[in-house]
Amino acid sequence: MSARAQDPAHDLVGFSINQMTVKQLSMPDLVKGCLELGVPGVGLWREPVQQHGLHATARLVREAGLAVTSLCRGGFFTGATAAERARALDDNRAAIDEAAVLGTDTLVLVSGGLPAGSRDLPGAREQVAEALAELWPYAAQRGVRLAVEPLHPMYAADRCVVSTLAQALDLAEPFPAEWVGAVVDTYHLWWDDQIAAQIARAGAAGRIHCFQYADWITPLPAGVLTGRGQLGDGSVDFRWFRDRVRATGFAGPVEVEIFNDEMWSRDGHEMLAQTVARYREHAL
Amino acid sequence: MSARAQDPAHDLVGFSINQMTVKQLSMPDLVKGCLELGVPGVGLWREPVQQHGLHATARLVREAGLAVTSLCRGGFFTGATAAERARALDDNRAAIDEAAVLGTDTLVLVSGGLPAGSRDLPGAREQVAEALAELWPYAAQRGVRLAVEPLHPMYAADRCVVSTLAQALDLAEPFPAEWVGAVVDTYHLWWDDQIAAQIARAGAAGRIHCFQYADWITPLPAGVLTGRGQLGDGSVDFRWFRDRVRATGFAGPVEVEIFNDEMWSRDGHEMLAQTVARYREHAL
């Protein structure tokens, strides 16, 4: 029998690698790399899970003893027509089912941007609220929490109309905290002068359902999607975030999720090892 | 005697073209273009003003009857050392003097980003507060208002640690509203779900010292500096902003300030005419 992760590196308890950070690794290589380094958890994405097979992935991580700390991602609720929005809900029900099969308790939701041709931000945000109202009972029945992710305001038009932690919490508030919460991702939120108060609010309400690290580096690349920084390379004070999140009583894992073209162009096992080293250097 | 702008196009009263929108135009061509189109005001930048000569520019716009609605820009207050920050203050005193010579009552301030190697956002913001405290009496003596510009959060690290209108107003609040206020620029603020309330707050306090339009378009170019949209090409609802700003009693001009590589590559007079046409179509 292969190595298992029931004895992870002691200082990596609560650490998780989001697979997008090392997306060049196949699912088996990702699991192997985690076991070698003593990484106890992974955050998964739907597309590579589909590629390896949903049940095969579930078996692979379960047999390795890895925790699946989240599944990315549901969402993209906004749409110009009722039919578009209904299709999005169907797709989110499928994502919830997949999360349950994978044994993770958390589905990350990226809300979607403005519908094509629309300038109605409040209207788009209302569509997100309606989708959450529709989905949370389905998720709760399957033991899956919905984690609304505020993305950096530079994505408000084309990707996510939820731009601050305060907004994500406002959206989550009508629903049970056990089932609807927010993602705290340093990359998206580090600039916000209200972030300390909003982390405290999120923690007090029991709504921090996912906690993610990436650094902020400049210059941003064209399209601004794939220029997130390795921990320590940028402007984020990770220990500051860690302390504030922990001060709320949060005892969950932290995922490192970095989208970075240069890191993706290099050896995946090296990048995984580098990420663990940077986590130890900048966030422990 | 050449044409003068004392009889601008009736519907362009309160319209101003920020010269960066058509930076390919020389100062005389900018003035000529404004007179031909009935544009009554210009927002100027220090570098092209220096290039044409400060006093020559002042004479040119005065003789043309154009209002100088703002000078861009002072700021860049943040620095790793006291010496750096003192040099920034000297440079801002020079900018205030230039604004007075040009006959504008408003100097736009872009605060500056994190000092090199720093991750201390609150500390950088404190440096901005200290700079305002130092500068406003100097500005007031010369009849120049300081307009703190919140820039989009994507610039927080390398350009401007003031990211929301709320923050700009918090910074301005200790000082007389007559002399220290904020810039409301649609490009930087359109995504903020608190913007209606903060515009109302700014207007009630008499602190809207500059009002600027640019549209938000995607995808963003590398470096994210020169991808602002022509009015109507993107996600901003200009009339929504206009109505909320005017509802506060604001009676000042609106400047169109667009940084756009493609527009800069084309004929400046055409782009000026296009901007006026788009203003009429989307913002009147």
pLDDT at A9: 82
Residue B109, strand partner residues: B74, B148
Tell me: the pLDDT tens digits for B143-188? 999 999 999 999 999 999 999 999 999 999 999 999 999 999 999 9
Query: Going by C-beta distance under 8 Å and a sequence separation of 6 or more, which residues neighbour residue B56?
Result: B27
Cβ B193–A121 below 8 Å, yes or no? yes
Q: Specify the pLDDT at position A1.
A: 38
- Fold of the CATH domain B13-282: TIM Barrel (3.20.20)
pLDDT mean for each 10 residues of chain A (284 residues):
59 97 98 98 98 98 98 98 97 98 98 97 98 98 98 98 98 98 98 98 98 98 97 98 98 98 98 98 95
A33: which 2 tokens? Answer: 């790399």
Instruction: Suggest the residue from A163, A213, A235, A239 to mutate for an interface test with chain B (most B CBs closer than 10 A).
Output: A235
A192 vs B218: CB contact, 8 Å cut-off? no
Backbone angle region of B232, left / alpha / beta, with phi > 0 → left and psi within -120 to 50 → alpha:
left
B60 burial (CB, 10 Å; 0-12 / 13-18 / 19+) is: middle
Q: Which residue has 């609304």 as its token pair?
A: A148
Contact (CB<8Å) B154/A190: no
Are the beta carbons of A119 and B156 separated by less than 8 Å?
no
Could you tell me the maximum CA-CA distance found in chain B, to the nearest angstrom?
A: 57
Domain map (residue ranges) of chain A: 15-282
CATH fold group of domain A15-282: TIM Barrel (3.20.20)
Residue A3 φ/ψ, nearest 5 degrees: -60, 150
Average pLDDT of the segment spanning B17-32: 98
Contact A243, A196 (CB under 8 A): no
Terminal C-alpha separation, chain B: 32
Rounded to whole angstroms, how far apart are CA atoms A228 and B157? 13
- Which residues of chain A have a CB within 8 Å of the CB of B191? 121, 153, 156-157, 163
* Contact between A222 and B219 using a beta-carbon 8 Å cutoff: yes
B122 vs chain A: nearest CA distance in angstroms?
8
Chain A CA closest to residue B196:
A122
Residue A203 is which amino acid?
A: G
Q: How far apart are CA B93 and CA B276, in angstroms?
A: 33
Interhelix angle A165-172/A195-204, nearest 10 degrees: 30
Task: Report the relative pairing of strands A254-256 and A15-18 from DSSP bridges.
Answer: parallel
B62-117: per-residue pLDDT in tens? 999 999 999 999 999 999 999 999 999 999 999 999 999 999 999 999 999 999 99
**C-alpha closest to that of B92 among B70, B104, B108:** B108
SS3 B210: strand
Phi, psi of B15 (to 5 degrees): -95, 140
Answer whether B153 touches A (CB < 8 Å): yes
Mean of the per-residue pLDDT values of chain B: 96
Say what the pTM is.
Answer: 0.96
8 A C-beta contact, residue A13 and residue A37: no
Copy the structure tokens of residue B83. 């010496």
CA pair distance B6, B9, nearest whole angstrom? 10
